[in-house]
Chain A
Amino acid sequence: AAGVIQSPRHLIKEKRETATLKCYPIPRHDTVYWYQQGPGQDPQFLISFYEKMQSDKGSIPDRFSAQQFSDYHSELNMSSLELGDSALYFCASSERLAGVDEQFFGPGTRLTVL
């Protein structure tokens, strides 16, 4: 079965640089979620999109922005990167319109800020 695809899988950036993470949801899934997981921490919800509109906002810094495109893929844009942004970033998707609550996670992007 098709899964959530994230790219790149690994990313190394310098402080104050920008980064763009991409997420391709499972086919027919209409909702995308972004999570940040620091070392030894549980995933923290950042933001979500349903049918290309922002749905909910969690603990996403103002330096970050995201959007969902017409083909349902999503991008997380991160600017003015800080050392503390180093983490695993997960994208998840669900079929919200069908009333399915389960979120299926991608493999993650490991971001390292030097």
Chain B
Amino acid sequence: EDQVTQSPEALRLQEGESSSLNCSYTVSGLRGLFWYRQDPGKGPEFLFTLYSAGEEKEKERLKATLTKKESFLHITAPKPEDSATYLCAVQSHVSGYSTLTFGKGTMLLVSP
């Protein structure tokens, strides 16, 4: 069974204080690892897809990296508008094309 564990559950940062969120996964044949951002009461917003170990993707202050067992979402010099819950999800060749298995998320709060 595919499993995704995210840490920490919650993270409070000061504006400009860089940090990283962790996503550890166990999956039978990784098809892809996805990062989403979710604001309260809204739908997850797609950020990145990573397919193979060593891959990196960047978007503004966010950078996602992937190893064979985990992924990191690095946040550089965050701003208050980066406050949200960040969800990691995996898709496997075994579980089926459709199934995204999500982690519980990391709730990020960036204070001015």
Contacts and interface: CB of A to CB of B under 8 A. Distances in A.
Given A56-B96, A56-B98, A103-B100, A108 B43 contact: yes
A90 B49 contact: no
Nearest to A42: B102
Interface residues of A, number: 26
Interface string B91-106: 1000011111111110
B62 to A, nearest CB: 16
B80 interface: no
B49 A102 contact: yes
Given A43-B44, A107-B42, A108-B41, A101 B32 contact: yes
Given A42-B104, A42-B105, A101-B31, A33 B46 contact: no
A11 to B, nearest CB: 14
B34 interface: yes
Contact of B99 (A56, A88, A106): A56
B43 A106 contact: yes
Contacts of A42: 87, 102-105
B98 A48 contact: yes
5 contacts: A42-B104, A45-B99, A55-B96, A101-B91, A110-B41
B105 A105 contact: no
A48 to B, nearest CB: 4
Contacts of B87: 42-43
A58 interface: yes
Given A42-B102, A90-B43, A106-B43, 11 more contacts: A42-B87, A43-B87, A43-B102, A44-B102, A45-B98, A55-B97, A58-B98, A58-B99, A101-B34, A105-B36, A105-B46
B55 interface: no
A31 interface: yes
Nearest to B34: A102
A3 to B, nearest CB: 9
